[in-house]
Copies of this chain bind each other. A is one copy, B any other.
């Protein structure tokens, strides 16, 4: 089975109209938000599943489109209303195709507000809507102002407690970006790096031994820059590699060189197949003869991976982490 653990919901014009209304009117006064009609939702989900079939993906774990989460847009009410709306949309698609799609929740994070405000929605998504995980934005200010403390800080502990209680993993993934010199796609990469280092230099996994954290986009820069952090850890008599392997990583890197380095450095036990398709990588790669985000054949042609390694990357590790997905 091929499980794509990093994918996002496809929305329709009806959804964008709700989003635009929230953006403009700032949900102030609060406005309702009706989901698109069933037939429109079904058609959209069928379109996604057709794309999955074309590339041999059996199941996608779909979460909100990260750069559209509006985590920094005041008031907090916007983020909350939109997170609930998109989670409900995901739920509707998953209900229609329960064997092909699983829900990963967006959280109503807001700027530097404590993540305590996210617990109720996370609980609702997991316990009422059957979601199997959530995404976690390490900088809900979206670069507009001083960010909250790093993910290694106790600031995040109420959320970690809840994740452990519910036994669901979090996929670390930033949202938009307000810095003119840092596009949202570049911020994804930098925030993944910051998250890796904040977590590996913290006591989080001592305090929460069952916590499951996946860093998006192959860990940002860290597997490539590992020597720098190995040297730092070695100076303190520690092993950076050991700390890094408390984390999991997805394969949303769109080059064979990058994927090989990831598998080599963090090991196949810690990697989950993920493509974000359709998304950033949905553009034709001449060299490959298919889109950049068609990663299954790219991983299959890495000869030094064993059949067992590949099975872990494509399926086993996702099953191990997302315990609620297939029960």
Contact = CB atoms under 8 A, between A and B. Distances in A.
B255 A226 contact: yes
Contacts of A218: 224-225
A224 to B, nearest CB: 4
B230 A147 contact: no
Given A221-B225, A224-B223, A257-B261, A231 B292 contact: yes
A68 interface: no
Given A189-B221, A194-B181, A254 B230 contact: yes
A4 interface: no
A158 interface: no
Q: How many copies make up the complex?
A: 2
Contacts of A179: 146-147
Size band of the interface chain A makes with B: 35 or more
A197 B255 CA distance: 17
A235 interface: yes
Q: Taking each of A153, A223, A224, which has the highest tally of chain B beta carbons within 10 Å of its own beta carbon?
A: A224
Interface string A5-48: 00000000000000000000000000000000000000000000
Contact of A193 (B189, B197, B281, B283): B189
A255 to B, nearest CB: 4
B194 A193 contact: no
A69 to B, nearest CB: 19
Given A226-B255, A227-B253, A185 B221 contact: no
A234 to B, nearest CB: 5
27 contacts: A147-B181, A149-B180, A149-B181, A153-B181, A181-B194, A186-B197, A189-B221, A189-B225, A190-B190, A193-B221, A217-B225, A220-B225, A221-B221, A224-B253, A224-B257, A225-B253, A227-B254, A227-B258, A227-B281, A228-B254, A230-B285, A231-B281, A231-B282, A231-B283, A231-B292, A234-B284, A235-B283
